[in-house]
Structure 1
Amino acid sequence: MQSPMQSEVFITCAVTGSGDTASRHPGLPITPAQIADASIEAAKAGAAIAHIHVRDPETGAASRDPALYREVVERIRASDTDVIINLTAGMGGDVVFGPGENPLPLDPKGTDMIGPLERLVHVEELLPEICTLDCGTMNFSAGDYVMTNTPSHLRAMAKRVQELGVRPELEVFDFGHLVFVKDLIKEGLLDNPLMIQLCLGIPYGAPDDPMTTMALVNQLPEGAIFSGFSIGSRQLPFVAMAVLAGGNVRVGLEDNLYLQRGVKASNADLVTRAKTIIEAMNVRVMGPAEVREKLKLRKAA
């Protein structure tokens, strides 16, 4: 059983993501300068952590180019704004099967499957304080796309991240992912304090209703520090759910494009609204220095 609601929480802002959202939001950060600026603006609004993907500056499509990560990170580190950098390591695990009765060969347009250590090239170079580790394979939304993370790949990634001294944010989309987290603990591949992100409301993972949320929370490893989020119109209401459940909060354009019906948001708008919700619950929002201490993060490169 997890501890009750905390008196202080931190906000993560997921500033751009990898989804096909650039065509639906003219203000979505795409270039390295835009992604860095959005991270800095989110930090000034109250986010302690910026969760970062990169995109092809020409097309807006998701990318895993280390040079793009390098530019984003260098811009943030050169700014006068403190924010903890959390780089995704989820890219390179995409499999899209062929249609109907012809699942093979794989669809080359959407498939991007690389080795586990290649997925960490940018993490090795830039040594952020945090990087993500998706903790399982999942049918992700409609069609023939599968978010693919095999146990052997994840073990190799966890081992390398541990060697680098980077704190993994363990992305949990469903109950079986928590089972795998506990196996990694038994195998000595994760160090305390554990940092877990409950990713809810995403087809076809765990739903974001209160009963499911609390069932997941009550299965977390003892002493784990967790955040939770939902997507779309459920993102901002779920801020309160995450806090009530004893966790921290994630918002941002990766998961939701709107501040309210018909009103497109910026990342800073979503962080500001989350902060308002949290403080209205008589809970204090933590700054990056406090979060570094809480998560025992090693100093960034």
Structure 2
Amino acid sequence: MSVTENVIITAALTGAGDTVGRSPHVPVTPEQIAASAVEAAGAGAAVVHIHVRDPETGAPSRDRTLYREVLERIKETGTDVVINLTAGMGGDLVLDADQPLEKGALDGTDLVGGLDRLPHVEDLLPDICTLDCGSLNFGDQLYISTTEMLRKGARRIQELGVKPELEIFDTGQLWFAKQLLEEGLLDQPTLFQLCMGIPWGAPADPGVLQSMVNFLPPNAQWASFALGRMQMPWVAQSILLGGNVRVGLEDNLYLSRGVKATNGQLVERAVQITESLGATVASPDEARARLGLKPRTA
């Protein structure tokens, strides 16, 4: 695997984590999320990965009207950027450890079927949407995405003509994503996001990343990220192994110790690392060509 020569930078703007109270820079309202997307694109991100939040509480949301407003606000600015919408919301299951069946799903559960995670994708037809490729212990709760949920979701995304970004949190999920490809539920070129350091998925370990890269299907496009202080080292790790990169406030709040970052500042730092390794930063059009996306429309 050779060093990436032209690096696609994705900015993950806000995520669904409990980060709003930990940094004033985490965007919450559609206006803030759109402004952060424009800032990230101006700093060098070819792709923006978008979640939405309840504007009043900051809690994660699946409200399709919020997604629509974000995209409309980005479009109004004339900003050229590839749109990547999460489709992972709706997989959270919280159980009592001692009496899981008796007490059932507890507060914090947001669990729906695979197709019910896609209405905003069906409405807005973004360039890319995510497909979280399996169930796992996600911190202290469960994230549920069964094989049949994934098959149904992948089939519907394929029908819509949207590119799925296959979110891989552990090696078994990569194995199953390759099964989806074998079953004809994914189109070439496939797009993988290797997600490292999420408790309790794949650890942010260079050897683990190398093994996952070795297990990717031929001709796959891929990126990886790691949480917290490992975010910027992982930019270099990904590029040196032939991949693209993701940074942003979804995964890390700091530019340096004690210094809270904006999305634009994190992208600027990723650009600096990319160029210091002798690579160039991909434009949105270059990203579209590499990922097999449709050309930009006015």
Give the TM-score range, shorter chain: over 0.9
- Answer whether contact 2:96 2:106 (CA < 8 A) is retained: no
* Pairwise CA distance, 1:80: 1.8
Give the Cα separation in 1 of the matches to 2:44 and 2:256: 20
Look up the equivalent residue of 1:120 and give its one-letter code: L
- Secondary structure of 1:17's aligned partner: coil
- Number of residue equivalences: 297
2:281 is aligned to: 285
Please list the CA deviations of residues 225-245 of structure 1 after superposition, one character each: whole Å capped at 9, or x if unmatched.
Answer: 000100001101111001011
Which contiguous aligned blocks of 4+ residues in structure 1 show a shift greater than 2 angstroms? Answer: 99-108, 298-301
Could you say which residue in structure 2 is the equivalent of 1:190? 186
Cα 1:286–1:102 change in 2 (3 A) is: closer
Distance in structure 2 (CA, Å) of the matches to 1:45 and 1:207 = 29
Residue 76 (structure 1) shift: 1.0
Q: Is 1:86 aligned with 2:84?
A: yes
Q: Structure 1: which 5+ residue stretches go unaligned?
A: none
Matches within 5 A, 1:11-30: 11-30=9-28
Map 1:211-290 to 2 at 5 A.
211-290=207-286
* Alignment partners' CA distance in 2, 1:260 and 1:103: 44
Q: Deviations over 1:12-54 (max 9, x none)?
A: 0000000000011112100000000001100000000000000
2:69 matched residue in structure 1: 71
> How far is 1:107 from its partner?
3.8
> Following the alignment from structure 2 to structure 1, what is the Cα–Cα distance between the partners of residues 99 and 60?
28
Partner residue, 1:157: 153
State the Cα distance separating 1:99 from its structure 2 match.
3.8
Structure 2 runs not aligned, ≥5 long: none
The alpha carbon displacement at 1:105 in A equals: 2.7
Distance 1:219 1:134 in 2: 18
Q: Does residue 43 of the first structure (1) align with residue 20 of the second (2)?
A: no
> Contact 1:166–1:298 at 8 Å: present in 2 too?
no
1:33 aligns with 31
Residues in 1 aligned to 2:88 and 2:121: alpha-carbon distance in whole angstroms:
11
Q: TM-score, length-normalised on structure 2? A: 0.97
Residues 97 and 104, structure 1, Cα contact 8 Å, conserved in 2: no
Tell me what 1:148 maps to: 144
Tell me if the contact between 1:127 and 1:300 (Cα under 8 Å) persists in the aligned partners.
Answer: no
In structure 2, what is the Cα distance between the partners aligned to 1:16 and 1:156? 27
Q: What is the distance in 2 between the residues matched to 1:238 and 1:231?
A: 9
Distance 1:101 1:117, change over 3 A: closer
* 1:115 positional shift: 1.8
TM-score, normalised relative to structure 1: 0.96
Say whether the 8 Å CA contact 1:228–1:250 is kept in structure 2.
Answer: yes
| SS of residue paired to 1:51 | strand
Cα distance in 2, alignment partners of residues 156 and 83 from structure 1: 28
Cα deviation for residue 101 of structure 1 reads 3.5
Give, in whole Å, the separation in 1 of the partners of 2:151 and 2:51.
22
Call closer, same or farther: CA 1:100–1:200 in 2, change over 3 Å.
Answer: same
Q: Report the Cα distance in structure 1 between the residues aligned to 2:6 and 2:104, rounded to whole angstroms.
A: 47
Q: Say if 1:231 and 1:255, in contact at 8 Å, map to a contact too.
A: yes
Partners of 1:47 and 1:290 in 2: CA distance: 12
Correspondences of 1:92-107 after superposition (within 5 Å): 92-107=90-105
**Separation of aligned partners in 2, 1:6 and 1:88:** 25
CA contact (8 A) 1:132 1:171 kept: yes
* 1:234 partner letter: M
1:106 Cα deviation after fit: 3.0
